[in-house]
Structure 1
Amino acid sequence: MTSCSRKNDSFISRNFHAVTAEYNTLFNGYNALEQGRNSLNATYFDNYWAILPVERMQIREEVILPGQSKNSDFTKAEEKAVKAVQKHGMNIQGKEHNPQIDEAYLLLGQARYFDQRFVPALNAFNKILSSYGDSDKINTAKVWREKTNMRLENNEIAIENLKRLLEQEDLQDQQLADATSTLAQAYINLEQLDSAIVHIKTASKATKKNEEKGRFNFIKGQLYNALEDKDSANIAFDEVIDLNRKIPRQYLIAAEVEKSKNFDYENGNKIEFLEHLTKLEENRENRPFLDKIYHQIAEFHLENKFDSLAIAYYNKSLRTNSKDKILVAKNYETLGNYYFDNTEYKLAGAYYDSTLINMVENSKPYRVIKKKNENLEDVIFYEGVAEANDSILKLVAMPIAEREQYFKDYTDKLKAIAEEEQERLETQKRIKDFQQNTTNKKSGFGPPRGASPAGNASSFYFYNQETVAYGKNQFEQLWGERSNEDNWRWSSNGRSGFASQDAIASAIENNSENEKFSPDYYLKQLPSTDKDIDSLMKERNYAYYQLGLIYKEKFKEYELSKTKFTTLLKSAPEERLILPSKYNLYKIYEILGQTNEAEITKQDIISNYPDSRYAFILQNPNQAVADNEGSPENLYEQTYKKLEEQQYQSVIEDSDQYINYFDGDPIVPKFELLKATANGRLNGYTAYMDALNQIALDYANTEEGIKAQNLINSLQSLSKQIFVPNDVSKNFKVVYQFDKKQEVELKEFKETLDKVIEKISYYDLSTSVDVYSKDKTFLVVHGIKSIDGAKGFANIVEEKDKKKIDRPFFGISQENYQIIQIHKNLDTYIANQ
């Protein structure tokens, strides 16, 4: 027993603990570490859209507490390393005599490193460097220490130490590969790509592991691409491709894809390049990577203006259900951009919706697409309104006979579809019944095979009468009687053994939605009164106007905008839309360089609308620019100032005037919201909510309409008119009432009151003038802390000042004052006091 003691420095003791540690404890520990690394690799997903990390390890964002672990294999490896140190360490008088303990500390550090507990891992590697200077693992420990420093974002320290290691030691093979690849990663982290290339080259040559060789060469190609050196990048990708089956297939395909991105479309052989892409597509080994291959083929066709082929391949890439979210997002975004550029905004919006689902929220690309998609929402809405109303108005304008024929043709198509569906269901049912019957026949009856029982020697099917008879009977059971002609499977071509035309017609008649097969069902839904038709025309015309503005202002699609405005002017629009439409057309003609049309439109506006602001601008362009007082924006600012000054009635009147004057202008919803606010301040909660509801309805797709709806939702909690008890408040007011006509008296009384409250030092009092209604204004004293103090306000002023402010008043809490201002229920409050 004593001969194998950890404190006995003998040959037997040293070798016993060394062998036991190496072939038992550490062997199991390294096996557990390898299993843990394999599980990490199995769950790791490389992002080939960015420069790959040298080491395949997903960094977790969640914090791991001491003693916790996310991977049981690494926990086991750590336990084995600790056990080796505790059970087999031979530290005698400060010197370790077991040559395997440095291996134990290396295992300990690696287990902690892969478990992403980097500070404890750093301690383990430093232990080797400080206590085992003669270890053959010293260089390996130094490399792992710098890998850990790099994970702790100490990249400069890692670079300095690794450069010193390479200068001082003659590293070879895997040690050199590990050191230089780690150094390359540190330079990549610091975005010093030139330096990273030098060291990743060395690592790719030094490593003996084919997987690492493929990864390092691929990273080298990515670095060259980032530096815009495509030729060198392609050479690096070719080195990856040449490894072929020696490396994981994903590296080879990724190299092919990256090399394809570098193809020279001006000078390259496009036919040869397309043949190469097609070979990649048709190779059975590449099936797991078809999402990337299809995407690259689509890029090729899009670059060569073969739009239909490009769209087909983008969709094929999407149908592979790729796990690469970035690739999926790029497919959707490219399709969205294509339809956007071709002014198919509704379809583009749908693709942008799908793009956003596959992007990282709140990232810069996400915000760009989201903003673009939000701009499309209005287009989609108004295009839908215009399309639907145009269709209805077109049907209304048809002669009665033509209209009836239109819906007859439409319902006939619906019936044909219903018949085909009924046929399909009946076929499925008959096949299912037949299969069930065949399965249940266990008595030995079935189609004869080979020679007949009578001794017929022929085995050919049609020479055997029994097999022919059996086959004919089977066919009739399944399909019924059918004539020998083309398209014999269709029910309309012959009698079916399971679904006759009469049966189908009967099924359609009994259908709960059989009214949809009648033309009258649709004819009754068409608008018939002039009021309904006029409403549809107004909606359609307003949609055209909004589309014209959106295409002109947001998307700069001037031709499309011009089409919308010209179509609007031909559609008998309301008077309020004619003038702004003509002025916008004039501006579009100027932008497009169509001077003749611009001059005609200009003279039309000046001649027919001489008193309008548009005519003034056209006749006096320089003065209109210099003097902008009459602009919508300036008038809005002036009206807003009046709102801040509590000139609510004036705000309402001015807003009404400007709403009529600027009818059809984008500024109108702003004036509507301003008017609603002033109306609420004067007339209370109900009037404010009614006005907001109208804005939300009339301007649903504008910023103001959305804001109105949000206000409606947030103000629901203020609908109650119940006064709160005074004991729940800490702030009270004293209120004096004045009629609207008493403006001079109000001003004089406020001056007197301000002088009086200056003498009250134990309250921090102030006054304000608050409009209550159209006919009544309050002079309010703020800063009183109790209801008794508010009600007895006259008692807290000096005796000689009481006569100066001898006027009726009432006390009220801050909360109740807010209620009477919101609901205009002062009389109710006074009656309850």
Structure 2
Amino acid sequence: MYDISSGGSKVIKKQLARMLKDDKNLEFQDQIYYALADIAQKEKDVPLALTYLEKSIKASTSNNTQRALSYLRRADIYFERPDYKNAQANYDSTMSFLPKDYVDYAVIEEKKKSLTALVTNLNTIILEDSLQRLARMSEKDRNAMIDNLITQIEEGEKAKEEARLNDIANAQLNNATITPENTPTGSGSWYFYNPTTVSFGVGAFTKKWGGRKLEDNWRRSEKDQVVVNPINDEDPADLSDSVKTLSGGTSLATKSKSKKDRNFYLANIPLTPEAIVKSDAKIADAYYNVGSIYKEQLLNNQKSIEAFEELLKRFPENKYKLTSYYQLYRTYLAMKDQSRSDYYKNKLLNDYPESDFAAIIKNPGYAADIAASKSQVEKFYTETYQLYASGNYMQVYENCKQADSLYSKSKLMPQFSFLKALAIGRTQDINAFENALTQVTIKYPKDPVREKAQEMLELIRKQKDPDAVISTDSVAVIKQKTKFVFKEDGEYYYMVVVENGKGDLNKFKNNLSNMNADVFSTANLAISTVFLDITHQIVSVKAFDGMKKAMDYFNVTESKKELFSDLEKGTYKTFVISSENYAIFYKDKIIVDYELFFTRNFK
């Protein structure tokens, strides 16, 4: 509306100030404040710009586009600082009002989603740390702090109710003073001057809360808003503040009916060693996700380094240890810090010389080679297992011998060896079967197949008979024995295992996010990504209460093939998985094992 280059900013600011005092410009105040913010920002007075943007937002009662632009400008300022928590809240508000045909709509939406994921993980760290500090208190001190928090909530609710009643009273007074003499005719753009407006009650609501739908949690802007915890960034250990996060929109609400009930908080405090381990795992997951989001989505290498190094400092033996070393090696290299890059490179090369990451450093083409090899061996194992299931035992035996020569270093060799033993049990005498199983236990003493083979050996020794053929029931016991446990209740995840570099993972996650907003908006689902190994990533959607709800989600995704349009066909696999089985799967990293378990139990 105003071009600062056309004249001195002082003249323009005076003109804008006069316009603000003129009642005829009441409906344009949001635009005037926005113009003043623009001038302040160009003059490098960012605090003043933020003040004017706040006034612009408050003055916007019917011009949603202007309101969106004011939120957007404020979000951009916070993003550049960077202050990602405030940026997330303002990008979220921007998306509530921004027209979908806005030129950068998709870019802004993507930034908002990245920041939402970031803030969600940051809040997880703060929340779990707060709960652990409560756990370390005496019962008396812990209950006193919770009771104090409940008192604050009650006082806050009382203050909000008083403010709401004052807003209604003021709005009624303002409405009564609008007369035909001072009210513009026709379709005026200011909401309260429009004679065709809806009833006063809706008008008052819109004036205070904006264009929100009248639905549960309407005070929250859209679905992805994250309640930013009132934590002082300079002192994140301040429990008096961080404990307040317990009253926000966290999963705690699902565990108790009222946040004014002491049990609402006690149910989530990790008071046992096992609960502390689970809490630590959540913190470690969150740090890894934060580091990845900073690096891959927000392109903030310094923040990414801080997150990965804090993860290694707090949890030196965490499950992301080698991946974090590799990420730090690559990130420092990108920042041209050769010394720190070499530090992490040498940790991998010297301490973990047999790791895939060390191999990649020594041979940059290794990742592509190993991906092709893993794909081949997994396909071959699946085919071999299917041959066994269909009774073609001789071919199973030949395939396993072939695998021993072609894929001797594969992680699937214990499974091939066990299948070979089972094929011998079906085609040869019991002594040959016993010898084959014994070889499995000797060759793979630490692999889960040893337990399967040992169980079978015990059955044989109980009914040893040189002429006997092993019973079908006995083989079935082994066939059904698995490291994974099937159960219908408990926490479940939806999981997509994707080959690296075979499509646009961010677009796929956006597709999932959009579907969640449209179809599962009340389920409070979160999407996260983690490296399974150097050739695969896991995209997970969590969490579901039980297998049935997870399978409902799975079936919806299977019916929406367009969700996967940004991934290359044949390069991903979809599952549901319990939280317990997820831990086993992530540790073993053998996709085909879980694929077979999933096929037997869920399809």
TM-score normalised by the chain length of structure 1 = 0.35
Which protein has the larger Cα radius of gyration, Structure 1 or Structure 2? Answer: 1
TM-score normalised by the chain length of structure 2 = 0.47
